[in-house]
A and B are shown apart, each in its own frame.
Chain A
Amino acid sequence: MRVALKFCGGCDPGFERGEYWQAIARAAGPEIEWARLEEEGCQAVLLICGCDTACPQKDMPPGLRQVCLKDDRLAPGQVVKKILQKE
């Protein structure tokens, strides 16, 4: 699955967003092809936001399925399942 990755700006995040994404990418392996939001052909977007405000959420293109993370409590494997809609 081709998935767009978008981070919030990170003004005062509650966790290490970059590290969390790397763990998610490792858990996903080849099942997810990561892309930038501007690129064509994405079936979903993974938003990794540092707090509940989730600033970029309101600017997402309509029609693109969002998985929005506001903390790092969900295990990376569970995040991947959510993206792939396996749960």
Chain B
Amino acid sequence: MKTIRTKEDYLQSLRELGSVIYFNGQRVADITTHPAFIPHINAAAKTYELAQRPESEDLATAISHLTGKRINRFTHIHQSVEDLIKKVQLLRLIAHETGSCFQRCVGWDAMNATYMTTYEIDQKHGTQYHARFVEFLKRIQSENFMLVGGMTDPKGDRSLPPAQQEDLDLFTHVVEKNDKGIVIRGAKAHQTGGANSHEILLMPTQAMRPDDADFALVAAVPLNAPGVVQIFGRQTNDERKLTGGMDAGNPDYGLVGGETLIVFENVFVPWERVFMLGETEFAGLLVERFATLHRQNYGGCKGGVSDILVGACALASEMQGSAKASHVKEKLAEMMHLAETLYAGSVACSAMGSKTASGAFYPDPLLANCTKHNVTRHIYEIARLAHDVAGGILATMPSEKDLNSPEVGGYVRKYMAGVKGVSPENRMRILRLIENMTSGTALVESMHGAGSPQTQKVMYGRLGKMDMKKKMAAKLAGVQ
């Protein structure tokens, strides 16, 4: 396959891929022409488009340490602290273009976590996983593929480990090994960008015990491989995307990433695509690294999305004549404070990053977790302030069809008027954007994407240096 460079290349590659995807009970023949998928594809396409623009090339591309060639940064292995910081800057930049999740960071983080961990598995066990992965990565960089990072298994009964589930498929696992490769079964849930990715990089979902060897799997699978089926999830107000227009709020881009349940029904994976199998003691490390790399992102993308929301609220208040009210100015300042705090966390964990044995750089895990934990709070607070500033009209506004109705359109224009000279239609557009960006699924994604808050709190116990904190306190208090 030729290198994907432009949006059109990307769309063509998805048409050629022809993954098996269902939405709302029906098989979708071509997602590139289906209105439920187009907004998400548009967002992911930005990762290709920005790499072509000279004014964003510095962030959107990098030089491959494997080939010396310029590549899309979303396929790059971080080689320095500067690379880690540029990652965060890039995410904020793209969020400004989309106002939404653009999905491609998940696979990027999976590649970086796999790169550094396979190196260490080989050091311990004398395996060849890292060399295999490097060959795979070279191809991904050359073809500029989009990967989905496949971590979360459905997990069934959470109180039971993988090998003790009544239905073993609730954790993706190996059912057969032969001289050519392996056969896997199971599923991965919440797969952001799955529908419009080319491949999935499977990883274990949690730390594993020796009994769980068949579940300790890292492997790459093309999403059009026989036996792979995707089921696209619903999102708040997604039917508005089907008709497009003003009521969709952000009609060209998704509400959040667009997630699928990806099912693996006896899928064959050749050995050259298997990067870990059975080394259960590395499963927890891989999960932690992927989680840290992914949590690093959130102050970048959510900071950027919040910038759009602040701008929308400022415009809404100007349009309805409340911009000079001191409480509105205070709320907008508070929204900016929260957004910049998120961004600061992502930059900080990047600046404090370190070099792993593989040579790849890794963010500070405690700070990265703290950043994502802040997202689970601050995005809700930013949305709350947005609702406060925008007003109750967010929840009661007439539709675009009413605006354009010969019978009642006049009333809508008359009573949606704000400041003199502001078109009611523009006011409605901005209010719909705010509604779109602060509704249901957008908030839940901030809570649970990259791990629920409890998974971040667990990291404080592990990484928070409690012994040193107690020593410092005891010393000051004169405790012997």
Chain A residues within 8 Å of B, Cβ to Cβ? 12-16, 51-54, 57, 70
A16-B468, A52-B362, A53-B352 known, 14 other contacts, Cβ within 8 Å: A12-B468, A13-B465, A13-B468, A14-B465, A14-B468, A15-B468, A51-B352, A51-B364, A53-B353, A53-B354, A53-B364, A54-B354, A57-B355, A70-B354
The tally of residues in B whose CB lies under 8 Å from a CB in A reads: 9
Q: Are B364 and A12 touching (Cβ within 8 A)? A: no
Contacts of A51 in B (CB 8 A): 352, 354, 364
Segment 435-480 of B: residues with Cβ below 8 Å from A: 465, 468, 471
Shortest beta-carbon distance from B186 to chain A in Å: 33
Q: Are A52 and B364 touching (Cβ within 8 A)? A: yes
Q: Compute how far the CA of A53 lies from the CA of B52 in the bound complex, rounded to whole angstroms.
A: 34
Contacts of B353 in A (CB 8 A): 53
Partner of A12, one of B362, B465, B471: B465
Shortest beta-carbon distance from A43 to chain B in Å: 23
**Number of residue pairs spanning A and B whose beta carbons lie under 8 angstroms apart:** 22
Contacts of B465 in A (CB 8 A): 12-14
Contacts of B352 in A (CB 8 A): 51, 53
Contact with A along B349-367 (1 / 0, CB 8 A): 0001111000000101000
Contacts of A15 in B (CB 8 A): 468
Shortest beta-carbon distance from A71 to chain B in Å: 11
- What are 20 A-B contacts with C-beta separation under 8 Å? A12-B465, A12-B468, A13-B465, A13-B468, A14-B465, A14-B468, A15-B468, A16-B471, A51-B352, A51-B354, A51-B364, A52-B354, A52-B362, A52-B364, A53-B352, A53-B353, A53-B354, A53-B364, A54-B354, A70-B354
Name the residue among B353, B364, B468, B471 with the largest chain A CB count within 10 angstroms.
B468
Q: Compute how far the CA of A16 lies from the CA of B475 in the bound complex, rounded to whole angstroms.
A: 13
Contact with A along B101-144 (1 / 0, CB 8 A): 00000000000000000000000000000000000000000000
Name the residue among B353, B354, B362 with the largest chain A CB count within 10 angstroms.
B354
Contacts of B471 in A (CB 8 A): 16
Contacts of B355 in A (CB 8 A): 57
Contacts of A54 in B (CB 8 A): 354
Shortest beta-carbon distance from B412 to chain A in Å: 57
Q: Compute how far the CA of A54 lies from the CA of B355 in the bound complex, rounded to whole angstroms.
A: 9
Q: Compute how far the CA of A12 lies from the CA of B355 in the bound complex, rounded to whole angstroms.
A: 18
Q: Compute how far the CA of A14 lies from the CA of B352 in the bound complex, rounded to whole angstroms.
A: 14
Contacts of A53 in B (CB 8 A): 352-354, 364
Which 10 pairs, one residue from A and one from B, show the smallest C-beta to C-beta distance?
A52-B354, A53-B352, A14-B465, A53-B354, A54-B354, A53-B364, A14-B468, A13-B468, A12-B465, A53-B353
Shortest beta-carbon distance from A57 to chain B in Å: 8
Q: Compute how far the CA of A49 lies from the CA of B362 in the bound complex, rounded to whole angstroms.
A: 17
Q: Compute how far the CA of A15 lies from the CA of B230 in the bound complex, rounded to whole angstroms.
A: 48
Q: Compute how far the CA of A9 lies from the CA of B248 in the bound complex, rounded to whole angstroms.
A: 52
Q: Compute how far the CA of A28 lies from the CA of B83 in the bound complex, rounded to whole angstroms.
A: 39
Q: Compute how far the CA of A14 lies from the CA of B470 in the bound complex, rounded to whole angstroms.
A: 12
Q: Compute how far the CA of A14 lies from the CA of B468 in the bound complex, rounded to whole angstroms.
A: 6
Q: Compute how far the CA of A57 lies from the CA of B354 in the bound complex, rounded to whole angstroms.
A: 10
Q: Compute how far the CA of A52 lies from the CA of B289 in the bound complex, rounded to whole angstroms.
A: 14
Q: Compute how far the CA of A40 lies from the CA of B471 in the bound complex, rounded to whole angstroms.
A: 37
**Nearest-neighbor residue (CB-CB) of B352 within chain A:** A53
Q: Compute how far the CA of A70 lies from the CA of B471 in the bound complex, rounded to whole angstroms.
A: 19
Q: Compute how far the CA of A57 lies from the CA of B468 in the bound complex, rounded to whole angstroms.
A: 23
Contacts of B354 in A (CB 8 A): 51-54, 70
Name the residue among A13, A16, A51, A52 with the largest chain B CB count within 10 angstroms.
A52
Shortest beta-carbon distance from A10 to chain B in Å: 11
Shortest beta-carbon distance from B462 to chain A in Å: 11
**Nearest-neighbor residue (CB-CB) of A54 within chain B:** B354
**Nearest-neighbor residue (CB-CB) of B469 within chain A:** A12
Q: Compute how far the CA of A11 lies from the CA of B364 in the bound complex, rounded to whole angstroms.
A: 14
Shortest beta-carbon distance from B291 to chain A in Å: 16
Q: Compute how far the CA of A74 lies from the CA of B468 in the bound complex, rounded to whole angstroms.
A: 18
Shortest beta-carbon distance from B266 to chain A in Å: 41
Shortest beta-carbon distance from A56 to chain B in Å: 12
Q: Compute how far the CA of A16 lies from the CA of B354 in the bound complex, rounded to whole angstroms.
A: 20
Q: Compute how far the CA of A57 lies from the CA of B81 in the bound complex, rounded to whole angstroms.
A: 13
**Nearest-neighbor residue (CB-CB) of B354 within chain A:** A52
